[in-house]
Amino acid sequence: MKIVIAIDSFKGSLTSLEAGAAAEKGVRRVFPEAETVVKPLADGGEGTMKALTCGLGGAEQTVAVTGPFGEPVKAVYGVIARSRTAVIDIAQAAGLTLIPEAARDPLTATTFGVGELLAAAIKKGARRLIVGLGGSGTNDGGAGMLQALGFELLDAAGKPIMRGARGLADLAQIKTDHALPELAECTFEIACDVENPLYGPHGSSVVFAPQKGAAAEMIPKMDRWLKHYAALASKIFPQADPTLPGSGAAGGLGFAFAVFLGARLLPGVELVAKEVKLAEALSGADLLITGEGRIDAQTAMGKAPAGAAKIAKRAALPVVAFSGSLGSGANAVNEAGIDAFFAILPAVIPLAEAMEKTHAAANLCATVEQALRLWQIAQKSAGTAK
């Protein structure tokens, strides 16, 4: 018997591989002789860097960069030296979690630190960069990132525009002459799980800026600024397409990556699954175990467990998922390829206790064990137990 385990992180509690190890322990209690394969899983959001770096045998590097409001922050990125690959979560430098709720303001929040993070990895030798766009607190169209990489975004007087979305109001010219020369040697693969365009009724300003602290009256202005920014970019890059699905991701970072850096925008779980060779691991398997911290209606809309289930269903495999909690619309995952799902909490307990690593791992292990005992009965009843 072969069982593949690919679980997304339980955010704030277990990493992807920690969750996988806990589930594997539960499997062993029922099928001690089974072949188990644990793969990291992520969908491009926070945690993608850690999942891929650990899963591919890389190492983490820490570098000081500029935070969303100009403050210094320590950002971590992953390095897989053998392939000259760097794995970066933009949230490390421009994440919403770096900003206290009362201080959120996309007018001034910048992606400058993202550019510094990319530059640090490139100067260390990385030539392939995998970037997760989840969790941003910015709406500057990637202008700050581009400035940090040497692109010049200038106002009518030829001076650099200020950082944050408000700087785009003064943007009059873009120059590429002093961009980091090593960029020409680099490839960028961007884990992007939204399909929003850069601007318009479904663009980054209208859809995502409110949760980043934008006041209602500022949203139309930011939307116009991004439209103007795209028009200027198209003068240098005729292929620039602000309607490209994902252009509006991370406050427009998707657009900047695609246009200025020639990046490919890919569904996050597909990118991660390809890197860790999930499809190959599922060859000859009997079951996929997946999951994430919370299963709800959003899970079925392309998040990591649903993406893993989609791959498993190509091989007609049963899929069971586990989560720390269940939310509204969780049943939708049954239509997305997850045959059954289970919450791991054995009782009503305080959230802090439920998320404590030791408790979460023990609860996940125990729940996997009981679910597989039921599966074992079904296998025996069908006469297919191995």
Q: What is the pLDDT of residues 286-308, one digit of tens each?
A: 999 999 999 999 899 878 999 99
Q: Per-domain residue ranges for the chain?
A: 2-40+286-381, 48-268
C-alpha to C-alpha distance for 32 and 1, rounded to whole angstroms: 10
Q: Which CATH architecture has domain 2-40+286-381?
A: 3-Layer(aba) Sandwich (3.40)
C-alpha to C-alpha distance for 53 and 88, rounded to whole angstroms: 10
C-alpha to C-alpha distance for 27 and 369, rounded to whole angstroms: 6
**Contact criterion met (CB below 8 Å) for 310 and 327:** no
The pTM for the full model equals 0.87
> Among 61, 116, 63, 115, which residue's Cα sits nearest to residue 86?
61
Residue 328 amino acid letter: S
**Burial (CB count <10 Å: 0-12, 13-18, 19+), residue 236:** middle
**Contact criterion met (CB below 8 Å) for 132 and 78:** no
Q: Percentage of residues in the chain with pLDDT exceeding 90?
A: 87
The segment with the largest mean pLDDT, out of 56-60, 73-77, 269-273, is 73-77
* Beta-ladder partners of 190: 131, 265
238 confidence band (pLDDT: 50, 70, 90): very high
Q: What is the pLDDT of residues 105-153, one digit of tens each?
A: 999 999 999 999 999 999 999 999 999 998 899 999 999 999 999 999 9
The terminus-to-terminus CA distance of the chain in angstroms comes to: 6
C-alpha to C-alpha distance for 267 and 384, rounded to whole angstroms: 36
Q: What is the pLDDT of residues 213-223, one digit of tens each?
A: 999 999 999 99
3-state DSSP percent of the chain in helix, strand and coil, to 5: 45, 20, 35
Runs of H (alpha helix) within the chain? 16-30, 48-55, 91-94, 112-123, 143-148, 204-207, 219-236, 253-260, 268-276, 278-282, 304-314, 351-355, 357-381
Q: What is the pLDDT of residues 294-349, one digit of tens each?
A: 999 989 987 899 999 999 999 999 999 999 999 999 999 999 999 999 999 988 88
**Contact criterion met (CB below 8 Å) for 303 and 269:** yes
**Residue 55 confidence (pLDDT):** 85
Whole-angstrom Cα Rg for the chain: 22
Whether residue 385 has pLDDT greater than 60: no
The length of the chain in residues reads 386
Residue 319 amino acid letter: V
Q: Percentage of residues in the chain with pLDDT exceeding 70?
A: 99
C-alpha to C-alpha distance for 246 and 194, rounded to whole angstroms: 5
Whether residue 199 has pLDDT greater than 60: yes
Question: DSSP state, 14?
Answer: B
Q: What is the pLDDT of residues 24-56, one digit of tens each?
A: 999 999 999 999 999 999 988 777 898 899 888
Residue in the block written with tokens 């996309």: 106
Whether residue 383 has pLDDT greater than 80: no
**Residue 384 confidence (pLDDT):** 56
Q: Produce one character per residue of 295-321: b if its CB has 16 or more CB atoms within 10 Å, e if not.
A: bbebbbebbbbbbbbbbbbeeebbbbb
Q: Which CATH architecture has domain 48-268?
A: Alpha-Beta Complex (3.90)
- Classify the C-alpha dihedral 92-93-94-100 as positive or negative: positive
What mean pLDDT is predicted for residues 208-215? 94
**Residue 29 confidence (pLDDT):** 97
**Contact criterion met (CB below 8 Å) for 165 and 225:** yes
Mean pLDDT computed over every residue of the chain: 94
> Among 261, 273, 264, which residue's Cα sits nearest to residue 303?
273
